Chain A
Amino acid sequence: MPATSAPRNLDVDRLLSHHRLMWRIRAFEEAALRANAEKLVLGAIHPSIGQEAIAVGVCSNLNRDDILSSTHRGHGHTLAKGADAGAMMRELLGREGGTSHGKGGSMHIADFEVGMLGANGVVAANIHITAGAAHAIKLRGEDRVACSIFGDGAINRGPFLEGLNWASVFALPALFVCEDNGFASTTRTAAMTGGPGPAARAEAIGVPAVEVDGNDVMAVDEAARQAVAAIRAGGGPRFIVARTYRLTGHTAADAAPYRPKEEVEAAWRREPIARLAQLLADSGVRGAVLAAHEREAREEMDAVYADAKAAPWPPLSRGFEDVQDAGDPRERAF
């Protein structure tokens, strides 16, 4: 249920910042969907519309030098970690100046400058990668955290067991976040998942877990704050299960006919941005301030899209770059 009265200890400035960032993510993805409709996005994109509170609530507790890894549905996480929206949109359109010079597309956006180790096209693969990044942090004695955000489908793949167990036995500074939107691709996750769910699985291998309303950015923020504090204090890994709802289909091409219209309409009434806006309005923030966040975000992402459309294809030389040092295909094209 939406909050109707503001808690007394509301940090309005922090929540305004969250509101602005959630709108930037929403506007980026709406622009991406427009680009997709205009056939300028060539591969699959997986929108996270409706899930913005998790990206923002978690990443607002990570520092620039903390590590994040994401999934195929990673635009929001990547923006929230601080990646450049312009380079991301160019990547979606396969253009020069994209985060991967147009060699990766939506599912392989990364920004190592801000500790974002990449979206990943293989469900659950980022869990191991984050465990390893946390392992490297521990080996070097650094005060950093590695975070992995993955979907509910990931809990039925081996890396969920192997990676969380790894972080547990080595007491690694790792935060695992399951963004539970109810669907594993186009199948309801509950229909394919045995037992009491992800939190119980994590607890069973020694990773303390909490469940939060993933559409409540304050709740996610607070859960992440506590988890990151425990990790930084040397407490080993933590797990957050954030319940949300995927308001779009699995991909931009998926009309999601497998779920009733009423269910989706009800989910729209719980979507996180309007819910936060209501909370802020109730606490005295003027509507014009909130409307400006939306307008500015749309203006920014319209400009980002226009820039990406105007950007050239990558030069063909990019095609043979960055394969490997030994046996580099540029030395002899076999």
Chain B
Amino acid sequence: MAILTYAEAGKQALAEEMRRDPLVWAVGEDLGRGGVFGQYKGMVEEFGPLRISDAPISEAAILGAAVGAAMTGTRPVVEMRFADFALCAVDELINQAAKARYMFGGQTKVPLVVREPMGMWRSSAAQHSQSLEGWYTHIPGLVVVCPSTPADNKGLLKTAIRSDDPVVYFEHKNIWGLEGEVPDADVAIPFGIARTARPGRDLTIVTWSATVHAATAAAEALAGDGIEAEVIDLRTLWPWDRAAVFASVERTGRLLVAHEAVQVGGFGAEVAATVDEHCFGALKAPVRRLGAPRVPIAYAPPLEDLLRVTPATIAEAARAIVSF
């Protein structure tokens, strides 16, 4: 075990996979200088500019070229810089990467990873702060990954690179510097297996990405009131670990889904509806979602904070469910 940051863990995963497989390469803007968040720092020195490739500010070309390169036998890892900028490459991801395998009758697969730094960090406003992971779960063909810890960022990125599916890989910008123990060994974490971030008997909180940390902080506060919340980190939204969520809700009888993304049409709605369909008999209270208001993200800190899902708002929602 080593203590690494979330960013360093991602870099270690990519470097290990590039050493293991010469067909893995990375491409994106400013990678030669280490990436805009330093998550590729030092990599061009080891792997050279062909495999850690700078790119023009042409998101559609970055992703579209990756599709062509993936269909012809390589494994590109695409850096989109901000999840918001990946919207410049929606055709390439949705109409091409996600569809090629099916519409060409299985003649090809598209093994690529699209890294999309997501979420609010500090005063980055409406075009550099979004959490759009729910959108991609709607698209057949895509895998959607949202790691919350350094260990998961290493293990899930390794699995993403080895996957033959196009994987949309959301790293949260606010936890680049989060430190944690990361296995030195070659540990690839399978998709679709949730992690119990904190066990509890009274209430299940399902969450992912940076909101996992808000939820565990909320759970600590709730424990002071005698409420033991179980926090389940989904890790991957497609596929998602329905069995783990069902098992937890069967025990606790209560569910809160918390995410940073806008609540309306968010993936929390999918989790809530699925639990309602499968676990209705076990529920002691209505399922509840907690997400952002349907408002673009603001710049000024007090306005930005209005939109955040925090330990306090999670704890408040949890108390309301338990006292139903």
- From 226 to 282 in chain B, residues with beta carbon under 8 angstroms from any chain A beta carbon are 236, 238-239, 242
* A100-B107, A103-B105, A112-B108 as given contacts; A122 in contact with B64, CB under 8 Å: no
**Shortest distance in angstroms between A107's beta carbon and chain B's nearest beta carbon?**
9
**What are 29 residue pairs bridging A and B, where the CB atoms are less than 8 Å apart in the complex?**
A100-B105, A110-B107, A112-B104, A112-B108, A117-B72, A127-B64, A128-B61, A128-B64, A128-B65, A129-B64, A129-B67, A132-B66, A133-B69, A133-B71, A136-B68, A136-B73, A159-B60, A163-B61, A165-B61, A166-B56, A170-B53, A322-B101, A324-B140, A324-B142, A326-B143, A326-B165, A326-B236, A326-B238, A327-B143
- From 82 to 112 in chain B, residues with beta carbon under 8 angstroms from any chain A beta carbon are 91-92, 95-96, 100-108
| Contact among A103, A121, A329 for B140, CB-based, below 8 A | A329
Chain B residue contacts of A129, Cβ below 8 A: 64-65, 67-68, 71, 96
Chain B, Cβ-Cβ closest to A324: B165
The reply to whether the CB of B191 lies closer than 8 angstroms to some CB of chain A is: yes
| Contact among A125, A135, A159, A329 for B95, CB-based, below 8 A | A125
* A122-B95, A128-B65 as given contacts; A100 in contact with B104, CB under 8 Å: yes
| Contact among A69, A112, A134, A326 for B163, CB-based, below 8 A | A326
**Once the chains are docked, how many angstroms separate the CA of A111 from the CA of B74?**
19
**Once the chains are docked, how many angstroms separate the CA of A329 from the CA of B66?**
25
* A112-B107, A158-B60, A324-B165 as given contacts; A103 in contact with B143, CB under 8 Å: no
Q: Is the CB of A137 within 8 A of B72?
A: yes
The reply to whether the CB of A104 lies closer than 8 angstroms to some CB of chain B is: yes
Interface residues on B, range: 35 or more
Chain A residue contacts of B95, Cβ below 8 A: 121-122, 125
| Contact among B63, B69, B105, B164 for A136, CB-based, below 8 A | B69
Which of A108, A125, A162, A329 counts the most chain B CB atoms within 10 A?
Answer: A162
Chain B residue contacts of A110, Cβ below 8 A: 104-105, 107-108
* A136-B69, A140-B73, A327-B191 as given contacts; A159 in contact with B61, CB under 8 Å: yes
Top 6 nearest A-B pairs by Cβ distance? Answer: A128-B64, A132-B68, A100-B105, A327-B239, A132-B65, A162-B61
**Once the chains are docked, how many angstroms separate the CA of A326 from the CA of B68?**
21
* A118-B104, A132-B69 as given contacts; A125 in contact with B91, CB under 8 Å: yes
Q: Is the CB of A139 within 8 A of B25?
A: yes
Chain B residue contacts of A103, Cβ below 8 A: 102-103, 105
Q: Is the CB of B68 within 8 A of A130?
A: yes
Chain B, Cβ-Cβ closest to A105: B103
| Contact among A101, A138, A158, A163 for B105, CB-based, below 8 A | A101
**Once the chains are docked, how many angstroms separate the CA of A324 from the CA of B91?**
18
- From 1 to 53 in chain B, residues with beta carbon under 8 angstroms from any chain A beta carbon are 23, 25, 50-51, 53
| Contact among B102, B191, B242 for A323, CB-based, below 8 A | B102
The reply to whether the CB of A98 lies closer than 8 angstroms to some CB of chain B is: yes
* A135-B65, A135-B69, A136-B69 as given contacts; A125 in contact with B96, CB under 8 Å: yes
The reply to whether the CB of A146 lies closer than 8 angstroms to some CB of chain B is: yes
- From 131 to 187 in chain A, residues with beta carbon under 8 angstroms from any chain B beta carbon are 131-140, 146, 158-159, 162-163, 165-166, 169-170
Chain A residue contacts of B141, Cβ below 8 A: 323-324
- From 32 to 89 in chain A, residues with beta carbon under 8 angstroms from any chain B beta carbon are 67, 69
Chain B, Cβ-Cβ closest to A127: B64
Chain A residue contacts of B108, Cβ below 8 A: 110, 112, 117
The reply to whether the CB of B58 lies closer than 8 angstroms to some CB of chain A is: yes
**Once the chains are docked, how many angstroms separate the CA of A69 from the CA of B67?**
12
Chain B residue contacts of A101, Cβ below 8 A: 105-106
Q: Is the CB of B105 within 8 A of A327?
A: no
**Once the chains are docked, how many angstroms separate the CA of A332 from the CA of B64?**
30
**Once the chains are docked, how many angstroms separate the CA of A69 from the CA of B142?**
23
**Shortest distance in angstroms between B151's beta carbon and chain A's nearest beta carbon?**
20
Q: Is the CB of B69 within 8 A of A139?
A: yes
The reply to whether the CB of A11 lies closer than 8 angstroms to some CB of chain B is: no
Chain A, Cβ-Cβ closest to B166: A324
Q: Is the CB of B71 within 8 A of A117?
A: yes
**0/1 string, B110-147, CB within 8 A of A gives 1:** 00000000000000000000000000000011110000
**Once the chains are docked, how many angstroms separate the CA of A165 from the CA of B61?**
9
**Once the chains are docked, how many angstroms separate the CA of A207 from the CA of B56?**
16
**Once the chains are docked, how many angstroms separate the CA of A322 from the CA of B106?**
5
The reply to whether the CB of A99 lies closer than 8 angstroms to some CB of chain B is: yes
Chain A, Cβ-Cβ closest to B70: A132
Q: Is the CB of A165 within 8 A of B56?
A: yes
**Shortest distance in angstroms between A266's beta carbon and chain B's nearest beta carbon?**
37
**Once the chains are docked, how many angstroms separate the CA of A117 from the CA of B163?**
21
**Once the chains are docked, how many angstroms separate the CA of A110 from the CA of B266?**
36
**Shortest distance in angstroms between B110's beta carbon and chain A's nearest beta carbon?**
10
- From 163 to 206 in chain B, residues with beta carbon under 8 angstroms from any chain A beta carbon are 163-165, 191-192
**Once the chains are docked, how many angstroms separate the CA of A238 from the CA of B197?**
55
Chain B residue contacts of A131, Cβ below 8 A: 61, 64-65, 68
Chain B, Cβ-Cβ closest to A163: B61
Q: Is the CB of A122 within 8 A of B69?
A: no
**Shortest distance in angstroms between A201's beta carbon and chain B's nearest beta carbon?**
15
Chain A residue contacts of B74, Cβ below 8 A: 136, 139-140
